[in-house]
Structure 1
């Protein structure tokens, strides 16, 4: 049985092992012991009553209860850009026209932006390659929506998710090679690593004025707003829930930023409460996400379920993974965005 739960201090070795597998361009969890340790510390602090909600990074892990192995992680940052600037490019259009010369040119542009300062962010989603099967990725990603639904006061009304941009099999980003390298004089992986620790150098070195994309190499233009092959499934999953690309991209690899009002996300909007009934004959029906409404004890599983008269019949195995008993409330929602109660 797979279960989502908040990260614990004894998950350090597992989190460090996951960070070694992420690869170039995965900014929020890199093969960097200092950054990974900081991620763990922030995740532990988020569930401390003394941590201000706007400073919290809610970090969850996916655990196989049969073995106790942690095989993935995902997070929600309550607010971006409050302690360090949060940058992206806004993709725009300028028209250069001359009636006399009968010339009319539409030119795409990139303008540095801090427009998403204060937004909540879905981040740090990574699943061990050996466990990328079944619906493990769906559980790891969508479980966060039930946490958002349960504790809306802890988050901004706007939610964003920055998708990893395209890079080739050698980890080379065409967008970085065509633009960023000219200003930073660093390899993509090194710049990405540094940005995870301190973003001040971005403001110091990035071009301050609007960039005309027709001046960039064709290879760089072609990947603007394109996702890394490994990230495409995650993008499709979020888009099915209602997040959309609105014309903002990452400043390093031009990966797309998706966004939506929290209350318009399908799994948030349609989730509802049910009472637990433990039943050894349960386990039939459509796949549902089932989560506990507890803060420090938040847990989420994926299980076949029929919700009848607001009763959620759970197998003893699922109930044990969620740490719930008969009569306990749970929050439930169909896994598929196309399904309704």
Structure 2
């Protein structure tokens, strides 16, 4: 059984392994032991902090196999982005150039550089190692965050976003970045992405074009990938779209991958999650549920068979142990 729990300092080697396996374009998992150690420390401090409104907290979690103790993946939420370090995006919009005198009417797309998502909450750092990509493990990593948001709304903003990895090849080359690099930068995509991941974003403000960019001036290859996702990211995008997330024209400034957003109150798993009282026994049904306890500091989430009836969740002793709950405690769950 996989159990989601807050990360600890002892998980650093496993997190570093996830970073190495995640590949190019996974900005929030740089292959840098010092940066990852600092992020773990920040997460531990964030989980221990008393919070009445979202700030610069970052909540990083891991999925642990209860039988082997091995770390299968990681997932995270940033409470409010852009407060300590700027959060840049491009916004894709439409402008019209027309002349009645010449009877000319042109509709063109432009990319505008900005910081429109400052202060919103972000879903990030979702990575599941290949050998665990089966069953409901991916859903557990994704949806456990919505249970946390539903149970502890004071810690998160009303708007939640997720950056989707854009198109790049096996060597980390991005068609969109190649165009930017040719005209404005002189560094490779992998280096730019890595510098962003470790928080060194000054070069973006120094070199990124500040005026809107006309999309039809980009190379055909760059135009083709705007708003498109990496093939390995499609399952994660489909999950979020089913939750109600949609792209409102914002894309990543490096690879042009889409940023999707949703009001937290409209997220399907938040809306349909329910609080139930724990009853320990032997579930008879076949339905799986994603279940979390109601603690924040000692947050736990699993996927298992649970019988839900009249506000009671009948679960096995093994599930109760994994969630660190006992008879009569409350849990929050989403039926699958």
Q: Which residue of 2 aligns with 1:242?
A: 244
Deviation at 1:98, TM superposition (A): 2.6
Q: Which residue of 2 aligns with 1:44?
A: 44
Distance in 1 separating the partners of 2:222 and 2:124:
25
Q: Which residue of 1 aligns with 2:91?
A: 90
Query: CA 1:283 to 1:199, structure 2 compared with 1: closer, same or farther past 3 Å?
Result: farther
Q: Which residue of 2 aligns with 1:255?
A: 257
Asked whether the 8 Å contact 1:290–1:331 carries over to 2, the reply is yes
Q: Which residue of 2 aligns with 1:198?
A: 200
Distance in 2 separating the partners of 1:187 and 1:116:
26
Asked whether the 8 Å contact 1:166–1:227 carries over to 2, the reply is yes
Distance in 1 separating the partners of 2:101 and 2:169:
44
Asked whether the 8 Å contact 1:181–1:188 carries over to 2, the reply is no
Q: Which residue of 1 aligns with 2:4?
A: 4
Distance in 1 separating the partners of 2:225 and 2:57:
33
Output one character per residue of 1:246-297: Cα deviation in whole Å (capped at 9) or x when no partner: 1000000001000011111011111111111111x21523221111000111
Asked whether the 8 Å contact 2:9–2:37 carries over to 1, the reply is no
Q: Which residue of 2 aligns with 1:288?
A: 289
Distance in 1 separating the partners of 2:82 and 2:88:
8
3-state SS in 2 of match to 1:148? helix
Q: Which residue of 2 aligns with 1:338?
A: none
Q: Which residue of 2 aligns with 1:33?
A: 33
Q: Which residue of 1 aligns with 2:215?
A: 213
Query: CA 1:147 to 1:283, structure 2 compared with 1: closer, same or farther past 3 Å?
Result: farther
Q: Which residue of 2 aligns with 1:129?
A: 130
Q: Which residue of 1 aligns with 2:316?
A: 315
* Root-mean-square deviation (Å): 1.4
3-state SS in 2 of match to 1:12? helix
Distance in 1 separating the partners of 2:39 and 2:74:
11
3-state SS in 2 of match to 1:97? strand
Give 5+ residue unaligned stretches, structure 2: none
Q: Which residue of 2 aligns with 1:183?
A: 184
3-state SS in 2 of match to 1:268? helix
What is the aligned length?
A: 334
2:279 to 277, 280, 288: 277
Deviation at 1:48, TM superposition (A): 2.1
Query: CA 1:69 to 1:283, structure 2 compared with 1: closer, same or farther past 3 Å?
Result: farther
Could you list the structure 1 runs, at least 4 aligned residues long, displaced by more than 4 angstroms after superposition. Answer: 50-53
Q: Which residue of 1 aligns with 2:22?
A: 22
Query: CA 1:74 to 1:133, structure 2 compared with 1: closer, same or farther past 3 Å?
Result: same
Distance in 2 separating the partners of 1:266 and 1:170:
37
Q: TM-score, normalised by structure 2?
A: 0.96
Query: CA 1:185 to 1:283, structure 2 compared with 1: closer, same or farther past 3 Å?
Result: farther
Query: CA 1:290 to 1:283, structure 2 compared with 1: closer, same or farther past 3 Å?
Result: farther
3-state SS in 2 of match to 1:324? coil
**For structure 1, which segment, 320-329 or 50-59, has the greater mean C-alpha deviation from structure 2 after superposition?**
50-59
